[in-house]
């Protein structure tokens, strides 16, 4: 046992004395030391129930003969952080979570880890830590929120943001807005659509790092407590068999994750997180792989914001294993890969039927023959940019229009709410990338305002920032290189015609190379005066197309 390095032998008597100070008995000290990384806090709705999940995991570990010890991970609520300075501190916590977990795990010689994330950056941050540490690990999340109910319809956080746009456009009353406010988010859990948190929790199942149901069992269901106990027991089996994260998260496992990303219609943030997690495994995920996989992977699910179905519906339809079994009818998954169940992917998904073809479309009747995410390239984004194709109106898959350029989210919001954006426009928001933000803020407020004002089928939005999984419409993010790194998005002027062809995977400014070169003469990117962790992050972070990982050079 790894923990014997700090608890066995005469030389470890001082360490054992400190373990006794924790109230541990000799019997407990002799058992494997299992770290439980709890993301519990009282400000994130998706994390307020994690104390119960943590207690259930502890029971499971103890039942199976381990000594469970809890330590914390921080978490930011993207929804609460949205639209102000706080959103600069969302993506950057991914690395804090990974780094602090590494520090705690190695400082205390844990034998294995149970990771309990839920909302956006905790899942990838802890997956990065698991890959980096490469000791036996398993994931169990806090679970998704139940859908809200407004005026007889299920609803969610994306509907809430769009309701603000509708109110500002005079389409709904203050009383109707208040009803959304009080009913859109009715329980604890990660917000109820296929947003970033749920996307990553579902993909954790696909990667093989979590048990069945991790991504879809609602937070308030007793099944979630049972799942946590099973995860606690399962970590002892993984420790005994010495199955480690990098044994599970292979290159084929990441290709499975990208395939299911396309089938499920996951958040575009997965295109930041999967490359970053793969990097920790020593695997390079090039964005072009996404288009190659998307080209032959049908999109089977339209959960919110793409449609009006929610995580609870996907759970009842059979969950992620049912979608995997459906998509594998086309032979698109590698199924001989080991997972935390101790079984292969093939064994896991065998017999997992699609219980509702309205929620999980059969492969014979998909929403589209290509995947839910597309990577576009052109002179506006030579290194690529990302769009959630499954949430784009058909008439906006190909669009050409004049640019309206803004150097911050706040400037863009003032123009949108002030009625300065009209049909046909292409809103460009720059200096919001990993370096330029810094922190790569999500642009949910602008996109929701555009949708809520009824412009979603005529206006596109392009940014070197990113989008919430709750975003829908022709919202194109992760433009690389970003403006702060000298990207061509920094050279765009008001009135430039931008041509977007999502099906052809292209995005271009209708400006000649000679004109762009002329504009670049004497031009320097805008620099922001930032301090503290933001300044350190901006100095180290790489571009979005590389997963916004931190450089070690």
Distance CA 238, CA 382 (A): 43
Structure tokens belonging to residue 78: 């993207």
Side-chain half-sphere CA neighbours of 85 within 13 A:
2
| SS3 track for 363-428 | CCCCCECCCCCEEEEECCEEEEEEECHHHCCHHHCEEEEEEEEECCHHHHHHHHHCCCCCCCCEEE
Contact 80, 86 (CB under 8 A): yes
Distance CA 409, CA 419 (A): 16
C-alpha closest to that of 48 among 119, 154, 121 = 119
* Catalytic pick among 468, 475, 480, 543: 468
> Could you please report the per-residue DSSP string of 213-274?
TTTTS-TTSHHHHHHHHHHHHHHHHHHHHT--HHHHS-HHHHHHHHHHHHHHT--TTHHHHH
**Annotation says 468 is catalytic:** yes
Tell me the sheet residues that pair with 149.
Answer: 154
Structure tokens belonging to residue 395: 């008439």
Distance CA 472, CA 434 (A): 22
Phi, psi (degrees; rounded to nearest 5) at 344: -85, 165
Reported as type and span, the H/E element at residue 206 is helix 196-207
C-alpha closest to that of 133 among 209, 58, 65, 31 = 209
Phi, psi (degrees; rounded to nearest 5) at 34: -105, 115
Contact 426, 401 (CB under 8 A): yes
Structure tokens belonging to residue 95: 């690395």
C-alpha closest to that of 321 among 350, 341, 342 = 350
Q: Could you give the residue numbers annotated as active site?
A: 468
């Amino acid at each position: 046992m790894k923990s014997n390095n700090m608890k066995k032998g005469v030389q470890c008597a001082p360490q054992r004395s400190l373990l006794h100070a924790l109230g541990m008995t000799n019997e407990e000290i002799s058992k494997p030391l299992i770290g439980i990384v709890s993301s519990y806090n009282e400000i994130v709705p998706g994390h307020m129930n994690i104390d119960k999940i943590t207690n259930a995991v502890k029971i499971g570990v103890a039942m199976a003969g381990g000594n469970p010890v809890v330590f914390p991970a921080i978490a930011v609520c993207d929804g609460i952080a949205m639209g102000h300075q706080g959103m600069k501190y969302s993506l950057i916590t991914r690395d804090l979570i990974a780094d602090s977990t590494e520090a705690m795990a190695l400082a205390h010689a844990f034998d294995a880890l149970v990771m309990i994330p839920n909302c956006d950056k905790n899942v990838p941050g802890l997956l990065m830590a698991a890959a980096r540490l490469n000791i036996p690990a398993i994931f169990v999340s806090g679970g998704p929120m139940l859908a809200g109910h407004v005026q007889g319809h299920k609803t969610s956080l994306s509907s809430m943001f769009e309701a603000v746009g509708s109110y500002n456009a005079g389409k709904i009353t203050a009383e109707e807005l208040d009803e959304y406010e009080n009913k859109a988010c009715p329980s604890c859990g990660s917000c109820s659509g296929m947003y970033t948190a749920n996307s990553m929790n579902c993909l954790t199942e696909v990667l093989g790092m979590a048990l069945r149901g991790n991504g879809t069992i609602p937070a308030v269901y007793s099944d979630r407590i049972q799942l946590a106990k099973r995860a606690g027991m399962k970590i002892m089996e993984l420790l005994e068999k010495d199955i480690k994260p990098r044994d599970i998260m292979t290159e084929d496992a990441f290709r499975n994750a990208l395939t299911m990303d396309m089938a499920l219609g996951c958040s575009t943030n997965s295109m930041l997180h999967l490359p970053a997690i793969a990097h920790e495994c020593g695997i390079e995920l090039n964005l072009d792989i996404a288009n190659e996989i998307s080209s032959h992977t049908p999109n089977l699910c339209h959960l919110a914001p793409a449609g009006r179905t929610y995580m609870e519906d996907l759970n009842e339809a059979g969950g992620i294993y049912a979608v995997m079994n459906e998509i594998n009818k086309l032979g698109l998954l590698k199924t001989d890969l080991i997972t935390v169940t101790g079984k292969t992917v093939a064994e896991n998904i065998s017999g997992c039927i699609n219980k509702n073809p309205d929620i999980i479309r059969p492969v014979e009747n998909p929403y589209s023959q290509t995947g839910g995410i597309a990577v576009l390239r052109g002179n506006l984004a030579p290194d690529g940019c990302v769009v959630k194709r499954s949430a784009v109106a058909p008439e906006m898959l190909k669009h050409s229009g004049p640019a309206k350029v803004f150097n911050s989210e706040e400037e863009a919001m003032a123009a949108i709410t002030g009625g300065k954006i009209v049909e046909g426009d292409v809103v460009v928001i720059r200096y919001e990338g990993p370096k330029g933000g810094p922190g790569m803020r999500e642009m949910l407020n602008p996109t929701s305002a555009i949708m809520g004002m009824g412009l979603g089928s005529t206006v596109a939005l392009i940014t070197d920032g990113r989008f919430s999984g709750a975003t829908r419409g022709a919202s194109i993010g992760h433009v690389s290189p970003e403006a702060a790194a000298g990207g061509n998005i920094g050279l765009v002027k008001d009135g430039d015609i931008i041509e977007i062809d999502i099906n052809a995977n292209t995005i271009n400014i209708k400006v000649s190379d000679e004109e762009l070169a002329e504009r670049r003469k004497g031009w320097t990117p805008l620099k922001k005066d930032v301090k503290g962790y933001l300044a350190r992050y901006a100095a180290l972070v790489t571009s979005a197309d590389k997963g916004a990982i931190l450089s070690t050079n």
